[in-house]
């Protein structure tokens, strides 16, 4: 049977067909739909872990115990999971261990543009790179086989355009996988210096065998056509190249680590010149150069951003296209915004009023950094919202720290906020930190998490009690507030930032997009009462505009959350049809 | 046949993803090789979003290049102007006359351009403009803007109506199906 599938759905299908039974992941665009799709299949245990390190450790344990195990994450997630990855390289597998990692060239939804191929080399493992959905499924299945045959974790590298493009996939049957026997084997599974030394040597031997596999050509394919130009490429860049150079010869790389030295040299002997076309870093290009080949590539192609057929045509062939345009019309940009009804808006409105410095984090609330709220001072990585506030405290002292707050969401809190809380108390900091608890992992498209008390399948489970946790860690000041009660939010923020001890404020209101949230009606403006003080405009609500000297509510956008009623001092906002 | 390209542009939250799935299902039923590329994640939060659909005997890149779209389905006026350079010469633009202010316009740091439709018409020959939101409401839900627009598009293509109706059935949950079929018919008739 054939089916149109996202690259991510195809990876999930590959996990299913390979007979895997344990999956642990943490969401992150563009990888999230892999694990979300897996829960539709019977016979696979799947979970959202609190973070990627936990996820890969769970999958590692499952693989050692004899199951085929899988974990999916975005590129920056692999930074978090790097610790288990590097040592699992020594331990190897038992049941196959496969990790999908999705890069985001062009940074559609990420804080950096790192190239995860470096991790395969650094951890001395294997990396496969599909270029469409069919390959995404096939390579995932292969990855399990390689993992078991060569006793290594295997990475499958995706990118936004492979993960989020749909193409046709031929479905196959699920293999009936028997758990591998589990045997007590400390020399292989207990990594301490004596064992690690022996295993490192085995890893180096394994790399030699894997190079032979790479050279065999099952994953790396030579397509000889016109030999005046030879192109070495991989992943989505292969598809772009095919559009621009349909007649060229190709070495299509499907296993991007280890690279196939002999195939590369053979290809080089058959073509007049070689162009390496790869997004982000010159990973393949530098390898070719290390083989003594004079290849072209990053001399003309960029290191930053995504590629496209247009870009290749322009940079490599000097092509320029005539297009329709509205001449000198200025088209305003449309950046993403916090949704109408977003609970984070109330909090940031209060924070702005108090002119606080905000060490932020990653989630929907990062959008508070954009105008008109302009509310974030920093955003580094998940967890840094709290810890960077502590850094400000220690750099500039306690008085300064009273103007600083750290914020992060509920999912981010269980991902890596807890250790930051401990650091603050343990090291006698006085920071005020906030968990923005909207009862969901919002930015990545609504995944349940340990704070909202539902599993990946929506089953009720135990809920992390942030308040009790904070007391147990040693916080003595813990408050709970509703961000739409703007006056109280301002009051509590003032009280807690003033204190000479650390405070945790749990800011609670569910995401407006949750089905359980039932706002009703729509706000209308009473123009007789409106004094045009513009307080409502400071909310940055996409439903409120100032058009031709009048405050207008766009009824297609307004969800009836009522926040603007709370900030209008003149009673000019009225809820119509609401509750 | 050479690959044909349909580009769907709009504002995150307008239902462009569902539209591409319906189109994809119809094209698959016709036996084409199909590739589609979508935007998930951050831009879905009210940003400018684009979905590419390509079909034919064999499709390589899932991405449509500048001057590459045979058909452009624009869910919002400003977005039709933004993505216009992607329309092929003599390609067809189907545009919804809805306006959604982007944040820079809301904050007053930019203005929403006036008379976009007229300006586009003076450059592009094949333009179909309509108020899909009004039709969707008439069909029973403002959310069906996407299906109204698909109806309009279907009327311009050589694929049988029954194929589209079947694709709707494959994509849309049973309880919303009747309303959406109505929305489709209204779009189809509006052409
Ligand atoms: C290490 C890492 N893993 C995953 C992500 C992807 N990611 C970005 S925001 C986010 C979740 C945010 O959820 P939450 O903290 O609950 O805030 P919300 O978006 O709901 O406001 C995730 C998983 C990331 N940026 N970094």
For the Cβ of A363 lying below 6 angstroms from any atom of ligand 1, the answer is yes
Q: Which of A308, A322, A334 has the CB atom closest to B67's CB atom?
A: A322
- pLDDT tens-digit series, residues A548-570: 889 999 988 999 999 999 999 99
Same-fold call for A2-215 versus A344-508: yes
CATH architecture, domain defined by A2-215:
3-Layer(aba) Sandwich (3.40)
User: What pLDDT score was predicted for residue B76?
Assistant: 97
User: What pLDDT score was predicted for residue B40?
Assistant: 79
Residues in chain A: 579
CA-based Rg of chain B, rounded to a whole angstrom?
Answer: 16
Tokens of A153: 């974790």
The atom number, within ligand 1, closest to the CA of A412 reads: 15
Percent of chain A's residues with pLDDT above 70: 100
Say how far apart CA A285 and CA A306 lie, in whole Å: 17
User: What pLDDT score was predicted for residue A328?
Assistant: 79
Contacts of B43 in chain A (CB under 8 A): 108-109, 336
Contacts of A333 in chain B (CB under 8 A): 48, 102, 104, 110
Closest CA in chain B for residue A374: B107
Which pLDDT band, with edges at 50, 70 and 90, does A579 fall under?
A: low
Say how far apart CA B54 and CA A352 lie, in whole Å: 46
Domain range for residue B131?
4-190
A32 touches chain B (CB under 8 A): yes
- If one residue of A51, A163, A362 were mutated to test the ligand 1 pocket, choosing by the most ligand atoms within 8 A of its CB, it would be A362
CA-based Rg of chain A, rounded to a whole angstrom?
Answer: 27
Helix (H), strand (E) at residue A439: none
Say how far apart CA A403 and CA A307 lie, in whole Å: 43
Say how far apart CA B173 and CA B162 lie, in whole Å: 18
Angle A12-A16-A22 from CA coordinates, rounded to 5°: 90
CATH topology of domain A344-508: Rossmann fold (3.40.50)
Contact: A309, B65; criterion CB under 8 Å:
yes
Say how far apart CA B4 and CA A24 lie, in whole Å: 40
Mean residue pLDDT across chain A: 97
Which residues is B52 bridged to in the sheet? B7, B37
For the Cβ of A25 lying below 6 angstroms from any atom of ligand 1, the answer is no
Global confidence as pTM: 0.97
DSSP A497-547: HHSSS-EEEEEE---TTSTT----SEEEE-TTT-----TGGGG--TTEEEE
- pLDDT tens-digit series, residues B130-158: 999 999 999 998 899 999 999 999 999 99
Mutation test of the interface with chain B: which of A336, A368, A371, choosing the one with the most B Cβ atoms within 10 A? A336
- Other Cβ atoms within 10 Å of A41 Cβ, number: 16
Q: Nearest C-alpha of chain B: how many angstroms from A320?
A: 10
Dihedral angle computed from the Cα positions of residues A438, A442, A445 and A448, in that order, rounded to the nearest 10 degrees: -50
CATH topology of domain A522-576: Alpha-Beta Plaits (3.30.70)
Contacts of A542 in chain B (CB under 8 A): 46, 100-101, 103, 106
For the Cβ of A346 lying below 6 angstroms from any atom of ligand 1, the answer is no
- pLDDT tens-digit series, residues A483-522: 999 999 999 999 999 999 999 999 999 999 999 999 999 9
- If one residue of A99, A411, A513 were mutated to test the ligand 1 pocket, choosing by the most ligand atoms within 8 A of its CB, it would be A411
Max CA-CA distance within chain B? Answer: 49
Contacts of A330 in chain B (CB under 8 A): 110, 113
Burial A430-446 (b: 16+ CB within 10 A, else e): bbbbbbbbbbbbbbbbe
Which residues is A155 bridged to in the sheet? A99, A127
* ipTM for the complex shown: 0.95
Contact: A108, B106; criterion CB under 8 Å:
no
Confidence check: pLDDT of A234 > 60: yes
Q: Is the CB of residue A354 less than 8 Å from the CB of residue A494?
A: yes
Tokens of A55: 């996820």
- pLDDT tens-digit series, residues B33-67: 999 998 877 778 889 999 999 999 999 999 999 99
Mutation test of the interface with chain A: which of B40, B87, B92, B143, choosing the one with the most A Cβ atoms within 10 A? B40
Tokens of A217: 């050509």
Average pLDDT of the residues in A101-107: 97
Q: Is the CB of residue A64 less than 8 Å from the CB of residue A113?
A: no
Q: Which residue has the tokens 């189809």?
A: B188
| Closest CA to ligand 1's atom 5 | A28
Which pLDDT band, with edges at 50, 70 and 90, does A208 fall under?
A: very high
- If one residue of A369, A383, A412 were mutated to test the ligand 1 pocket, choosing by the most ligand atoms within 8 A of its CB, it would be A412
User: What pLDDT score was predicted for residue A240?
Assistant: 97
Which pLDDT band, with edges at 50, 70 and 90, does A229 fall under?
A: very high
Contact: B42, A109; criterion CB under 8 Å:
yes
Q: Which of A420, A409, A414 is CA-nearest to residue A386?
A: A420
Q: How far is the CA of A22 from the centre of ligand 1 (A)?
A: 23
For the Cβ of A75 lying below 6 angstroms from any atom of ligand 1, the answer is no
The atom number, within ligand 1, closest to the CA of A409 reads: 15
Q: Which of B28, B79, B123 has the CB atom closest to A324's CB atom?
A: B123
- pLDDT tens-digit series, residues B24-39: 999 999 999 999 998 8
Q: How far is the CA of A4 from the centre of ligand 1 (A)?
A: 28
- Other Cβ atoms within 10 Å of B147 Cβ, number: 31
For residue B33, give the 3-state DSSP assignment.
strand
Residue extents of the structural domains in chain A: 2-215, 221-317, 344-508, 522-576
Contact: A545, B106; criterion CB under 8 Å:
yes
Assign domain A221-317 to a CATH class: alpha beta
CATH code of the domain containing B53: 3.40.920.10
User: What pLDDT score was predicted for residue B2?
Assistant: 81
Average pLDDT of the residues in A232-259: 98
Q: Which of residues 461-500 of A touch B (CB under 8 A)?
A: none
Contact: B78, A330; criterion CB under 8 Å:
no
Average pLDDT of the residues in A385-398: 98
For the Cβ of A438 lying below 6 angstroms from any atom of ligand 1, the answer is yes
For the Cβ of A339 lying below 6 angstroms from any atom of ligand 1, the answer is no
Mutation test of the interface with chain B: which of A324, A513, A555, A559, choosing the one with the most B Cβ atoms within 10 A? A324
User: What pLDDT score was predicted for residue A329?
Assistant: 83
Please state which of the ranges A279-288, B9-18, B78-87, B143-152 shows the lowest mean pLDDT. Answer: B9-18
For the Cβ of A444 lying below 6 angstroms from any atom of ligand 1, the answer is yes
Q: Nearest C-alpha of chain B: how many angstroms from A527?
A: 18
Contact: B103, A338; criterion CB under 8 Å:
no
Closest CA in chain B for residue A336: B47
Confidence check: pLDDT of A572 > 90: yes
Tokens of A232: 């070495």
Contacts of B98 in chain A (CB under 8 A): 556
Domain tally for chain B?
1
Say how far apart CA A572 and CA A89 lie, in whole Å: 64
Burial A44-72 (b: 16+ CB within 10 A, else e): bebbbbbbbbbbbbbbbebbbebbbbbbb
């Amino acid at each position: 049977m054939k089916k149109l599938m996202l690259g991510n759905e195809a990876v999930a299908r590959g996990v299913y067909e390979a007979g895997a039974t344990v999956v642990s992941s943490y969401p992150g665009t563009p990888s999230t739909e892999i694990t979300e799709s897996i829960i539709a299949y019977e016979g696979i245990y799947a979970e959202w872990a609190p973070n990627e390190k936990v996820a890969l450790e769970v999958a590692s344990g499952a693989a050692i115990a004899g199951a085929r195990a899988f974990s999916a994450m975005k590129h920056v997630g692999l930074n978090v999971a790097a610790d288990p990855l590097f040592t699992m390289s020594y331990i190897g597998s038992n049941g196959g261990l496969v990790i999908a990692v999705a890069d985001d060239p062009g940074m559609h939804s990420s804080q950096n543009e790192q190239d995860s191929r470096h991790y395969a080399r650094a951890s001395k493992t294997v990396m496969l790179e599909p270029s469409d959905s069919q390959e995404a499924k096939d390579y995932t299945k292969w990855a399990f086989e390689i993992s078991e045959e060569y006793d290594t974790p295997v990475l499958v590298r995706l990118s936004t355009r492979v993960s989020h493009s749909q193409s046709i996939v031929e479905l196959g049957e699920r293999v009936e996988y028997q758990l591998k026997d589990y045997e007590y084997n400390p020399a292989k599974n207990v990594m301490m210096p004596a064992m690690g030394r022996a295993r490192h040597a085995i890893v180096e031997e394994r790399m030699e065998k894997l190079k032979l596999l790479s050279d065999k050509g099952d994953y790396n394919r030579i397509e000889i056509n016109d030999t005046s130009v030879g192109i070495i490429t991989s992943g989505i860049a292969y598809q772009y190249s095919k559009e621009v150079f349909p007649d060229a010869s190709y070495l299509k790389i499907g296993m991007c680590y280890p690279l196939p030295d002999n195939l590369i040299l053979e290809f080089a002997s058959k073509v007049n010149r070689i162009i390496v076309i790869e997004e982000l870093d010159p990973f393949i290009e530098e390898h070719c150069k290390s083989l003594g080949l004079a290849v072209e590539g990053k001399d003309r192609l960029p290191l930053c951003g995504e590629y496209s057929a247009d870009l290749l045509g322009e940079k490599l062939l000097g092509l320029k296209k005539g297009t329709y345009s509205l001449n000198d019309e200025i088209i305003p940009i449309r950046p993403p915004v916090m949704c109408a009804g977003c609970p984070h808006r109330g909090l940031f409105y209060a924070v702005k009023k108090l002119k606080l410095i905000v060490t932020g984090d990653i989630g929907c609330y990062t959008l508070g950094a954009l105008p008109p709220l302009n509310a974030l001072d920093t955003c580094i990585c998940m967890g840094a919202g709290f810890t960077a506030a502590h850094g400000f405290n220690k750099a500039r002292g306690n008085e300064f720290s009273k103007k600083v707050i750290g914020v992060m969401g509920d999912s981010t809190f269980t991902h890596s906020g807890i250790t930051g809380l401990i650091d603050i108390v343990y090291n006698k900091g006085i920071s005020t930190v906030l968990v923005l608890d909207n009862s969901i992992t919002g930015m990545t498209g609504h995944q349940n998490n340990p704070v909202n008390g539902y599993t990946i399948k929506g089953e009720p489970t135990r809920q992390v009690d942030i308040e009790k946790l904070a007391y147990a860690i040693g916080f003595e000041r813990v408050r709970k507030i509703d961000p739409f009660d703007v006056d109280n939010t301002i009051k509590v923020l003032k009280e807690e930032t003033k204190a000479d001890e650390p405070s945790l404020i749990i800011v609670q209101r569910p995401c407006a997009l949750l089905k359980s949230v039932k706002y009703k009606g729509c706000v209308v403006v009473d123009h007789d009462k409106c004094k045009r003080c513009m307080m409502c405009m400071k909310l940055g609500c996409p439903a409120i505009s100032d058009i031709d000297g009048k405050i207008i509510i766009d009824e297609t956008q307004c969800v009836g959350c009522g926040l603007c009623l709370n900030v209008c001092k003149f009673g000019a906002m009225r809820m119509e049809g609401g509750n | 046949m050479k690959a044909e390209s349909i580009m769907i542009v709009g504002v995150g939250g307008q239902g462009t993803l569902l539209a591409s799935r319906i189109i994809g299902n119809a094209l698959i039923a016709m036996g084409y090789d199909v590739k589609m590329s979508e935007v998930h994640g951050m831009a879905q939060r009210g940003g400018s979003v684009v979905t590419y659909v390509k079909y034919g005997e064999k499709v390589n890149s899932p991405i449509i290049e500048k001057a590459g779209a045979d058909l452009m389905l624009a869910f919002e006026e400003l977005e039709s102007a933004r993505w216009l350079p992607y329309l092929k010469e003599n390609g067809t633009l189907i545009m919804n006359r809805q306006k959604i202010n982007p944040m820079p316009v809301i904050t007053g740091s930019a203005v929403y351009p006036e008379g976009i439709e007229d300006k586009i018409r003076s450059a592009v020959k094949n333009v179909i403009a309509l108020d899909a939101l009004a039709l969707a409401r008439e069909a029973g839900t403002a959310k069906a803007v996407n299906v109204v627009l698909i109806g309009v598009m279907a009327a311009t293509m050589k694929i049988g109506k029954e194929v589209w109706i079947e694709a709707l059935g494959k994509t849309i949950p049973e309880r919303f199906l009747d309303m959406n079929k109505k929305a489709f018919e209204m779009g189809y008739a509006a052409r």
